[in-house]
A and B are shown apart, each in its own frame.
Chain A
Amino acid sequence: MNALRRNVLKGAAGAGTVAVAVAAGLLKPTQALAAWNKAAFEAKNVGDAMKGMGVSAPADSKDISIKAPDIAENGAVVPVEVTSGIAGTTSIAILAEKNATPLIGDFKLTGGTEGFISTRIKMGQTALVRAVVTAGGKSYTAAKEVKVTIGGCGG
């Protein structure tokens, strides 16, 4: 009992050790789900996240509209709605640019689903919320700034 407690304390002293342990613990279940795009979701910046999704240099588009509050009082719950007016939209990805891991979700739309996704996201700080839309093999993007007064990532 005491030895265990000591180990736990030791772990806490070296925060890095804990992080590594958590990461190691995470690896197994993640690998079991092959379809989950680990590279993109664990990317620490927008460029790497897009690379992970196989998106490069998306074109700015006025046909994508992002509905989100200008100021979010609670970063833990920020309602975001993305509507793509681009014909043949097959996927919509949502990113919060300054989150520790910017990619929030990647939604593949098939069989008559319209270019629309509504969800609620966490934001660590004021940042651009970016939507990346894929239509006909091409990528398009749009962004909207959301000011966050209380972050939602640290708890």
Chain B
Amino acid sequence: MAEPMRIRATMAGDVADVKVLMNHPMETGQRKDAKTGQLVPAHFIQEVTATINGKEVLSANLGSGVSKNPYLGFKVKGAKAGDKVVVNWVDNTGDKNSAEAAIG
């Protein structure tokens, strides 16, 4: 999965507002290919973890019900501008991706 993941993190008061956009098809395994009539195999992100300066702030399990190119927003209290946000995901085929950004 060469597609990049985008992270935007901004401070609002003492709370960091983190927005993550992942690139992923998020196939449910229930959709049929229009041309062949065959089911498209399930292919979706199962786990997402986020850390700020190495400290875990979010760990999520996702199902196939999350939309294509998943968006995830969360808010972390006590973070500071310049802190490093790292987001990792793993999908059901074992594919993984990671990205990082500084809180601005």
Contact = CB atoms under 8 A, between A and B. Distances in A.
B60 interface: yes
A35 B61 contact: yes
Name the residue in B40, B41, B76 with the highest tally of chain A Cβ atoms < 10 Å from its Cβ.
B76
Nearest to A23: B29
Nearest to A41: B63
Interface string B70-104: 11111111110000000000101110000000000
A26 B41 CA distance: 8
A100 to B, nearest CB: 6
Contacts of A120: 66-67, 70-71
A57 interface: no
B46 to A, nearest CB: 5
B47 A36 contact: yes
Interface residues of A, number: 50
Given A76-B68, A119-B73, A106 B46 contact: no
Interface residues of B, number: 46
Given A122-B65, A154-B31, A19 B60 contact: no
A121 B65 CA distance: 6
Contacts of B59: 107-108, 110
A32 B46 CA distance: 12
Nearest to B41: A22
Contacts of A110: 56-59
Contact of A107 (B31, B39, B60, B70): B60
Interface of A: 8, 12, 18-19, 22, 25-26, 29-30, 32-33, 35-37, 40-41, 76-79, 81, 96, 99-114, 116-123, 152-155
14 contacts: A22-B42, A26-B42, A30-B46, A78-B67, A107-B60, A108-B59, A109-B74, A110-B56, A113-B75, A114-B15, A118-B19, A153-B28, A154-B31, A155-B31
Interface of B: 15, 19, 26, 28-32, 34, 37-42, 46-47, 52, 55-68, 70-79, 90, 92-94
